[in-house]
Structure 1
């Protein structure tokens, strides 16, 4: 007798399930990751909370790269089962708030112009609180990373942000945490690039690309390669820059990363994705 798939029951270790979903999420297989988590029939409260958090993170990352808007619902559902005061839940909410505040009228806006001052204050205070109560050094490093991002991209304080990225990099190297190190090197390299130090920017951006690849983040590695294309153009290698951007656009389209594809396509048309949008006040 053959059972229908919906009637089959398999016992799967929760840690292995979450690890598989994480790898799918990093690879840009967001729908498959979400379906895998949805298929887990668990009743134990702690396991339900971990799965709900993982599902919200899948949605958040999909929104970031694909330009969708699905994380709010998943975060609301996760808050129903995750204990109050949970650090990871608070960090997930901070990440969503950070990304949401980057858009003013649906348009990317760096700096404080057009943004609610109270929301910005709450955002940076939330990041500081997460830094203070982080349960381990890597999580403290992630809080430092977002303090830098908030300082850079919402307050336009380019002088203060690198210290936060440097603290995040130290925590990542102590962890170790390849994804955190990638993020820190990516943004430190951005400051090197703006300062005209192309050699140091190239070194950091190459390291960030390799770390992202080792961690298995396909869209993250593509976005990092976008910065290498920028540097190639800046140093006179226009043909190399366009060849790399063309492949980035092709890959991004293949995995459904619409926002990243649009960035690569705009680069091919002459736009610098590292430049602030015009009129953003930064």
Structure 2
């Protein structure tokens, strides 16, 4: 038998709890918590819908679900920059992932959609209400250049801008994201020491934020580096544990990446020029 009760909680604390559950890979729990909540004001309602859309997008990215489109559509249209950024991230995810598989590069993608997502990111950067949001828009300009257009030389400047914004604005997750991708460029350039330093710091920042699936993808990069520097046994041991953890928490795409690595694939291979 299910018992329903009503209580009052501090709304910002509830949103923070839902966000932490989502970062930890407990997307279903985060969404059920939010769905069981009735916001008191129209402003709270918008924040509530944004939080649910964010949790759904995290679930789609790391868990292989298809929840974000419906949740984003439910966000009030006057939610401003934050709604625009959610839409941008979802569009990026859909362009990057084709038929359930992440496929970088412009090949097979609609040129109009590619041009539109870059314009949207530029608009978000120019219209950002603060430096951290501007940094997140810069981060996605880099990701779009890197992973959708295969413009490897253009991306790092955007990542550097994001890193600066995250450092000065105190956003650990933005710093982590920038370090992750700057380290990727270091790795491709053969600078293993710089890649290791960036990736190790990104791992620590992800841990501090409680980002469990993101921690696993970050450890995957350290497994790549172990293989590249001759420690195949260490690389395989780490990837085996990543696969085990990812399977246990239902992070299917992360599990697939680890399994691919164990079969010899390089998850850091640059996107094809198309």
TM-score calculated relative to the size of structure 1 = 0.94
2:168 paired with 1:170: no
Match 1:28 to one of 19, 25, 29: 25
Give structure 2 stretches of 5+ with no counterpart: none
Separation of aligned partners in 2, 1:251 and 1:109 = 24
Rate the CA distance shift 1:16–1:105 in 2: closer, same or farther, 3 A: closer
Matches within 5 A, 1:133-212: 133-212=127-206
**Partner deviation per Cα, 1:232-270 (whole Å, 9 max, x = no partner):** 000000110011111111111111100001110111111
Is the contact between residue 245 and residue 264 of structure 1 (CA under 8 Å) also seen in structure 2?
yes
**Partner deviation per Cα, 1:76-102 (whole Å, 9 max, x = no partner):** 111xx3415x10000000000001001
Separation of aligned partners in 2, 1:268 and 1:50 = 41
2:273 paired with 1:281: yes
Which residue is 2:3 aligned to? 5
TM-score calculated relative to the size of structure 2 = 0.97
Which residue is 1:53 aligned to? 50
Which residue is 2:82 aligned to? 88
Shift of residue 43, structure 1, vs aligned partner: 4.3
Match 1:266 to one of 260, 267, 270: 260
2:79 paired with 1:63: no
Runs of 4+ in structure 1 displaced over 6 angstroms?
A: none
Shift of residue 281, structure 1, vs aligned partner: 3.3
Rate the CA distance shift 1:106–1:259 in 2: closer, same or farther, 3 A: closer
Match 2:97 to one of 87, 92, 103: 103
Match 1:123 to one of 96, 117, 131: 117
Separation of aligned partners in 2, 1:182 and 1:76 = 29
Partner-residue secondary structure (3-state), 1:135? coil
Which residue is 1:217 aligned to? 211
Shift of residue 106, structure 1, vs aligned partner: 4.4
* C-alpha RMSD of matched pairs (Å): 1.4
Is the contact between residue 34 and residue 58 of structure 1 (CA under 8 Å) also seen in structure 2?
yes
> How many residue pairs get matched?
274
Q: Which moved more, 1:99-108 or 1:185-194?
A: 99-108
Give structure 1 stretches of 5+ with no counterpart: none
